[in-house]
């Protein structure tokens, strides 16, 4: 495979990984919004609660995980999300630059491409676990059991 094809393959791998990581961010925002709605419904009307989640719309993954950790008791998921933040930052800010600056050989490409693919797989796993928590929250909201 020539450098142009390798570069295109790597670009696509980075885009895929970043997309999955952005889906995690969006699902964290969804969880936060739903949690705040549930809290508003459950609070006594004499206690003001004006949070709705909009204030976290442009927040970084680390901030979203911090807020999520205050709303969820799934410690295993919280820890696993924390572990992926450095990888997300690598994908978003360094992966392409490091790849371009690296040696133009097949083994370097394969190593870097494998690293990116593994991050994407790990992110998909976190997304699936997060979706389970969102489904549980939705069940609580729909059944009105808190």
> Tens digits of per-residue pLDDT, 87-123?
999 999 988 888 888 887 778 888 989 999 999 999 9
Angle at 94 between CA 99 and CA 28, to 5 degrees: 130
Confidence at residue 119, expressed as pLDDT on a 0 to 100 scale: 96
The mean pLDDT value for 82-88 works out to: 94
pLDDT at 4: 74
pLDDT for the residue 5: 79
> 142 or 21: which carries more pLDDT confidence?
21
Give the list of residues 6+ apart from residue 40 with CB closer than 8 angstroms, or none. Answer: 49
Q: What is the DSSP string of 8-61?
A: HHHHHHHHHHHHHHHHHHHHHHHHHHHHHHHHHHHS-TTS-----SGGGTT--H
pLDDT at 145 over 60: no
User: pLDDT tens digit string along 27-66?
Assistant: 999 999 999 988 888 887 778 888 999 999 999 999 999 9
64's tokens: 């979203």
């Amino acid at each position: 495979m020539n450098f142009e094809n390798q570069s295109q393959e790597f670009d696509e791998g980075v885009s895929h990984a970043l997309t999955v990581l952005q889906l995690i961010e969006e699902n964290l925002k969804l969880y936060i919004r739903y949690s705040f709605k549930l809290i508003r419904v459950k609070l006594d009307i004499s206690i003001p609660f004006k949070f709705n989640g909009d204030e976290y719309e442009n927040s970084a993954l680390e901030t979203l995980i911090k807020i999520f950790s205050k709303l969820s008791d799934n410690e295993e998921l919280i820890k696993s999300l924390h572990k992926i933040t450095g990888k997300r930052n690598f994908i978003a800010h360094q992966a392409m630059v490091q790849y371009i600056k690296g040696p133009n050989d097949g083994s370097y490409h394969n190593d870097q491409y494998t690293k990116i693919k593994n991050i994407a797989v790990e992110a998909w796993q976190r997304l699936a676990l997060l979706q389970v928590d969102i489904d549980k929250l939705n069940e609580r909201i729909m059944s009105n059991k808190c």
